[in-house]
Amino acid sequence: MNATSLKLERPPIVVVMGHVDHGKSTLLDYIRKTNVVAGEAGGITQHVAAYEVTHEYEGQEKRITFIDTPGHAAFQAIRARGANVADIAILVVAADDGVKAQTLEALAAIRESNIPFVVAINKIDKPNADLVRTQGSLLEQHVFLEKMGGDVPWAAISAKTGQGVPELLNLVLIVSEFLELRADATPPAQGFVIEAHRDPKRGIAATLIITSGTLKSGMAVQAGCALAPVRIMEDHLGKTLREATFSTPVSLVGFDSLPDVGLTFHTYKTKKLAEEACHLEILKQQAARDAQTPEGFGERFVMPIIVRADASGSLEAITHEVAKLGDEFTAIRIIQAGIGNISENDTKTALAATPIPATIIGFHVGTDATAREAARQHDLTIEHFDIIYKLTERLEELLATSAPKRKIEEMKGRAKVLKMFSSRRLEQTLGGKVTEGRMEKGSLVRITRRKEEIGVGTIESLQAHKSHVERVENGGEFGTVISADFDILEGDMLECFTIKTV
Ligand code: GDP
């Protein structure tokens, strides 16, 4: 298995962190103004919360992506989901102020996320700047700077005048080279949602940072349960894009709901595939919730109805029959019943019912004109019957169509992880052996360690005997790439399953 053959060098994604007023925004502004690709008119669009710059390093033009303010917030939101969007952090510390409370917070977040960082000692143009004291305050926090006995790269800069900023960018590129960031441009894009907002004129837009693959016009993006066609896509300069790849930030317009910041996004060739992925996402969330609630899968769907009949005898018979309808997942509840015509009062009650407006049933009775008008206005269903079994038949039909579709898991097989080849965000490459049933490409996979569930991922690709396959049967050894935002380890068990709608 040669998992790295298609991979190209990927520009680093950088987050700028530090104490308030230490110059994060000034630094981001300076880099943006001086390094954004020359000749691009029109300035930066307001709502793309990241930008890409070029910087010459050792005679080569290199790209760097910066997460713009509120970079810190986005970084933390993504961290909270157990993933990293940034490859490198710049920790800004003002030379006239030294290490402060939020410097420590930033440092803790950087250390926790295990990403390398570069220190920018800022404001060295100020008369009261004290480089030595600032270095000392960093040392106290165990930040051991290069040339001072440590290995943390640092630069003394002025975000205001630009002094030292090119050196800072050199350091970022040196660290990046060391990280050997690579990604594959061929598959549909994956990455993170950095920001999302509702634009009064254009609808819901989000800034996405692509970490692998390519995003092309005509595809569809899914982030959690938010979907968007790749139609209106722009770069950070507001220029229309038909295609984008890593580590480019793009603004994508046309989401059907607001995606959460920090979510990973996936891309699909068609809208239908994206919708299916969204259903799976709901299921994963439901599975995660169910794992927390011992009661297990969801509640019963109860369809509300209102019954009006000509006599108490028939009302009683209807009540009796209705109680028999439904199953362990569905039921019908009579929320109001009475003798006489269907009235406006019934339509009011029907409208207020949950989880859906009640269906109004008349048995040998008529409907008042006001009720008929209210039903028409509010799209309520009123149905009349004069035979009980026809009434129950119809209710069964209505129950089947209004009950939410249930999704159940169908187990395909189990396998053991024999060897981990690489463990990257959203891309766990490993070898394993099927111990029961089969593994299927495209299926969901539940990962367990010592019988404890670690999480759910997707089997992105499957290989056996050095070629791509759709499935591997019991006893077979295989290589696979699993999309999961947590680390899989040797010895973990994989349980392959799909979801059926019933
Ligand atoms: P942030 O809160 O970290 O984003 O800080 P800002 O970028 O908003 O900067 C806070 C203040 O410090 C602003 O008034 C900036 O003009 C000023 N500032 C930032 N960098 C420098 C610098 O290198 N030199 C000087 N003299 N002032 C700076």
DSSP helix/strand/coil, 209: strand
Mean pLDDT, the chain, whole residue set: 87
Instruction: Give the strand pairing for 243-245 and 359-363.
Output: unpaired
Q: Separation of 163 CA from ligand 1 center, angstroms?
A: 14
CA distances from residue 263 to 15, 46, 129, 257, 394 in whole angstroms, order as listed: 17, 21, 40, 13, 43
* Alpha carbon distance 361, 344 (integer Å): 14
Question: Do residues 259 and 203 touch, judged by C-beta distance below 8 A?
Answer: no
Ligand 1 is surrounded, with C-beta below 6 A, by 18, 20-26, 122-123, 125-126, 158-160
Q: How confident is the model at residue 294 (pLDDT cuts 50, 70, 90)?
A: very low
Among 439, 500, 496, smallest CA distance to 470 is for: 439
How confident is the model at residue 173, as a pLDDT?
97
- Global pTM reads 0.61
Helix (H) or strand (E) holding 289: helix 271-292
Which residue's CA is the nearest one to ligand 1's atom 25? 123
Q: Separation of 115 CA from ligand 1 center, angstroms?
A: 25
**Closest ligand 1 atom to 159 CA:** 23
pLDDT digits (tens, 9 = 90+) for 86-142: 899 999 999 999 999 889 988 988 888 889 999 999 999 999 999 999 999 999 999
Helix (H) or strand (E) holding 156: strand 154-156
How confident is the model at residue 78, as a pLDDT?
66
Q: How confident is the model at residue 296 (pLDDT cuts 50, 70, 90)?
A: very low
| Selection from 76-80, 233-237, 480-484 with the highest mean pLDDT | 480-484
| Choice between 23 and 73, residue whose per-residue pLDDT is larger | 23
**Closest ligand 1 atom to 19 CA:** 3
**Residue 285 confidence (pLDDT) above 80:** no
**Closest ligand 1 atom to 126 CA:** 26
Which residue's CA is the nearest one to ligand 1's atom 24? 123
Q: Separation of 160 CA from ligand 1 center, angstroms?
A: 7
Q: What contacts 45, CB < 8 A, 6 or more positions away? A: 234, 236, 237, 238, 251
Among 279, 395, 261, smallest CA distance to 333 is for: 395
CA dihedral 26, 27, 33, 38 (to 10 degrees): -170
Q: Separation of 130 CA from ligand 1 center, angstroms?
A: 16
Q: How confident is the model at residue 455 (pLDDT cuts 50, 70, 90)?
A: confident
Q: Separation of 158 CA from ligand 1 center, angstroms?
A: 9
End-to-end CA distance of the chain: 38
